[in-house]
Amino acid sequence: MFETGNICRHSSLYSRHSMVSQRLEAFVGTAACTVVTLWKIRDWKHYRHSSLYSRHSMVSQRLEPL
């Protein structure tokens, strides 16, 4: 038997992984992917209540000089 809490936890982890993977497809270099991924993890922990669009916008602005 599966526990309801575990099913929700696994599906939400998959969803987050899927969203990150889709956003990183545009990057060619693995170093850029690593930087963005680590930044997104820190950002998610500190700014859980901010909207997805505003966080995505901040990432895009920070990557433009690269």
Q: Quick: pLDDT tens for 35-46.
A: 555 556 555 555
* Nearest-angstrom CA–CA distance, 62 and 56: 10
The DSSP 8-state label assigned to residue 48 in this structure reads T
The rounded distance, in Å, linking the Cα atoms of 32 and 1 is 41
pTM of this prediction? 0.14
Amino acid found at 45: K
pLDDT digits (tens, 9 = 90+) for 16-30: 555 555 555 555 555
Confidence of residue 53 (pLDDT cuts 50, 70, 90): low
